[in-house]
């Protein structure tokens, strides 16, 4: 008995010392990616696995949201701002051993902007007139008009460089240039990444990484507490964060996301076509109560569709401040008493809980709501595609997505030619001051039109083992960049 006890102790000590020199990480994610090709799918989960880890673009986002060179070492811009000459790094290899050359860049960009391209963000490539290979490490991109945001566009996960040899199987066997390559994908459970020994840049501290998919918030909590998962950057149960915060084994990663959470209003719905009704709804909403009740205090109020951490943000929250009295007057003025609106909610807790709170706030000014809780597939079908709704709550997590208001066929159906003209102007503007000015005008315009109820900027609430260093606190783009992650001794 005693010997056995001693062996057990020895084994435990061994385990503990093994844990000290840890070079692998298990990351929890709520949703599993449908495929692993970021240039062919819209799901955020794809980028959350492969961005910066498996695939790289000409440029890339950093943790603070700035854009730095990646596969392109440097670039020159012509006088008139229409020709970008990218100088590529030499000696970069894809995971399958082939060289990354200018031909691959041309292939990737041409493929993304092609007529039949399935790229989810085709607008990023819209302005490209032609892509020409100068030599093996130089690519010349000619734009049809100057575009000040072009280098940032190339940092998106949708603009990563892929190889023509391996693109056909990229959905299940992605081949990129990043520091990690795909080890194994156990569908429904996890994706394992392993170190790429031939990586061109600084080798990351981690040798392997596992992304584990846990959709249920209760299970996520249990897995975190039990130590089965080292980090859960998009942790789905904000209500339990306080518990992790009080536990020295864990650290909280609280940051901002690009997720503008809005009470989407169907601008073409008969009941909501009158701007006074939409204004009344905006004034009936108490943002702080929603943040406290649905997000347990995590979130920043917004007054327009723009991220508060962006330097061009204009704080317009006062324009739609909580004022139930004013809301009632506006409704009376518009002759919209006894209004009953449908409120269709997708599964995330910000929507389900936020929906109940908003229903109660709207009831206080005399608007009845019919809540229906939908699964994502139903939501996409009924609300996003079918536009059969009055109100909905959803977080728009793409960066710099104010241009969705220029698309009259987009699900909330805002149609304003002035705004569309503004966005065309923005595309053409290269001067930073001019861009700021246009963005500010755009933010004001949608706030003046009360297109949607602007609620709050979704916080990035993450939990991680206290010894992990280098995870992104914010998410300037959808990513779990592991290149800088390490374990403290």
Partner 1 sequence: MRLPGQLILGAVLSALFIAAAILSLFWTPYAVEALEISNKLKPPGGGHWLGTDHFGRDILSMLMVGARTSIAVAVVAVGIGMAVGVPLGLLAAANRGSLLDEVVMRGNDLVFAFPSLVIAILITAVFGPSALNAILAIGIFNIPVFARVTRGGALSLWTLDYVLAARVAGKGKLRISLEHILSNIVNLLIVQGTIQFSLGILAEAGLSYVGLGAQPPLPSWGRMLADSQTLISLAPHIAIFPGLAIVLTVLGLNLMGDGMRDLLDPRLRRIR
Give contact residues for partner 1 (rule: CB under 8 A).
217-218, 221, 237, 239-240, 242-243, 289, 292-293, 353, 355-357, 359-360, 363, 370-373
d(CA 172, CA 190): 13
Residue closer to partner 1, measured from CB, 92 or 224: 224
Strand, helix or coil for residue 386 = coil
CB of 467 to partner 1, least distance (A): 23
Q: State the nearest-atom distance from the C-beta of 237 to partner 1, in Å.
A: 4
Report how far Cα 440 is from the mean position of its chain's Cα atoms: 22
Residue 71 and residue 85 in contact, taking contact as beta carbons nearer than 8 Å: no
Q: Nearest 5°: phi and psi at 354?
A: -60, -35
Among residues 182 and 362, whose Cβ is nearest to partner 1? 362
What's the min distance (Å) between Cβ of 360 and partner 1?
Answer: 5
Nearest-CA neighbor of 446 among 423, 474, 476, 478? 423
Q: State the nearest-atom distance from the C-beta of 368 to partner 1, in Å.
A: 10
Helix (H, G, I), strand (E, B), or coil: what is residue 88? strand
Three-state secondary structure call for residue 201: coil
- Closest approach, Cβ 292 to partner 1, in A, equals 5
Is the Cβ of residue 201 or residue 217 nearer to partner 1 in the bound state? 217
Tell me whether residue 109 or residue 237 sits nearer to partner 1 (CB atom). 237
Cα–Cα–Cα angle for 168, 174, 175, rounded to 5 degrees: 95
Q: What is the CA radius of gyration of the chain?
A: 24
Largest CA distance in the chain: 86
Q: Phi and psi (nearest 5°) for 73?
A: -70, -40
- Shortest distance, CB of residue 261 to partner 1, whole angstroms? 17
Q: Which is nearer to partner 1, 372 or 486 (CB)?
A: 372
Closest to partner 1 by CB, 113 or 287: 287
- 180, 53 in Cβ contact below 8 A? yes
Q: Decide whether 17 or 338 has the Cβ nearer to partner 1.
A: 338
* Shortest Å distance, C-beta 218 to partner 1: 5
Q: Do residues 344 and 382 touch, judged by C-beta distance below 8 A? A: yes
Alpha carbon of 62 to those of 159, 258, 384: distances in Å?
15, 14, 31
Angle at 317 between CA 314 and CA 318, to 5 degrees: 110
* Strand pairing category for 208-213 and 24-29: parallel
Residue 351 C-beta: closest distance to partner 1, Å: 12
Angle CA 438–110–97, to nearest 5: 120
Nearest to 52 by CA among 444, 369, 481: 481
Nearest to partner 1 of 371, 404 (CB atom)? 371
CB of 221 to partner 1, least distance (A): 6
CB closer to partner 1 out of 231 and 237 = 237
């Amino acid at each position: 008995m005693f010997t056995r006890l001693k062996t057990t102790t020895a084994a435990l000590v061994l385990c503990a010392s093994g844990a000290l020199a840890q070079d692998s990480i298990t990351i929890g994610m709520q949703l599993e990616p449908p495929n692993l090709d970021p240039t062919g799918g819209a799901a955020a989960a794809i980028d959350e696995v492969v961005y910066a880890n498996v695939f790289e673009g000409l440029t890339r986002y950093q943790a603070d949201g700035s854009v730095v060179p990646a596969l392109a070492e440097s670039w020159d811009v012509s006088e008139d701002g229409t020709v970008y000459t990218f100088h590529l790094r030499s000696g970069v290899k894809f995971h399958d051993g082939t060289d990354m050359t200018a031909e691959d860049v041309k292939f990737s960009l041409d493929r993304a902007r092609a007529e039949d391209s399935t790229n989810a963000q085709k607008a990023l490539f819209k302005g490209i007139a032609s892509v020409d290979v100068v030599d093996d490490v130089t690519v010349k991109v000619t734009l049809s008009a100057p575009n000040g945001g072009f280098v940032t566009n190339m940092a998106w996960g949708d603009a990563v460089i892929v190889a023509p040899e391996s693109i056909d199987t990229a959905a299940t066997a992605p081949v990129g240039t990043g520091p990690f390559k795909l080890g194994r994908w156990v569908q429904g459970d996890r994706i394992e990444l392993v170190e790429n020994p031939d990586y061109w840049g600084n080798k990351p501290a981690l040798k392997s990484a596992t992304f584990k998919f846990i959709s249920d918030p209760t299970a996520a909590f249990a897995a975190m507490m039990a130590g089965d998962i080292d980090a859960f950057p998009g942790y789905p149960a904000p209500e339990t964060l306080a518990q992790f915060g009080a536990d020295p084994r864990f650290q909280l990663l609280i940051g901002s996301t690009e997720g503008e959470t809005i009470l989407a209003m169907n601008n073409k719905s008969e009941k909501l076509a009158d701007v006074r009704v939409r204004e009344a709804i905006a004034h009936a909403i108490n943002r702080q109560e929603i943040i406290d009740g649905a997000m347990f205090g995590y979130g920043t109020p917004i007054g327009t569709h723009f991220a508060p951490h962006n330097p061009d943000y204009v704080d317009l929250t006062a324009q739609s401040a909580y004022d139930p009295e004013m809301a009632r007057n506006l409704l009376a003025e518009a002759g919209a008493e006894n209004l009953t609106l449908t409120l269709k909610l997708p599964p995330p807790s910000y929507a389900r809980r936020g929906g109940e709170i908003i229903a109660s706030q709207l009831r206080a000014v005399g608007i009845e709501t019919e809540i229906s809780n939908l699964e994502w597939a139903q939501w996409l079908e009924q609300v996003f595609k079918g536009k059969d709704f009055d109100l909905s709550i959803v977080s728009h997590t793409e960066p710099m997505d104010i241009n969705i208001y220029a698309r009259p066929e987009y699900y909330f159906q805002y149609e304003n030619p002035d705004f569309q003209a503004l966005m065309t102007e923005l595309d053409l503007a290269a001067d930073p001051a001019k861009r700021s000015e246009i963005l500010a005008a755009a933010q004001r315009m949608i706030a003046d039109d009360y297109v949607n109820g602007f609620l709050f900027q979704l916080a990035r609430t993450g939990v991680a083992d206290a010894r992990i260093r280098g995870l992104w606190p914010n998410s300037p783009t959808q990513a779990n960049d592991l290149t800088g992650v390490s374990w403290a001794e």
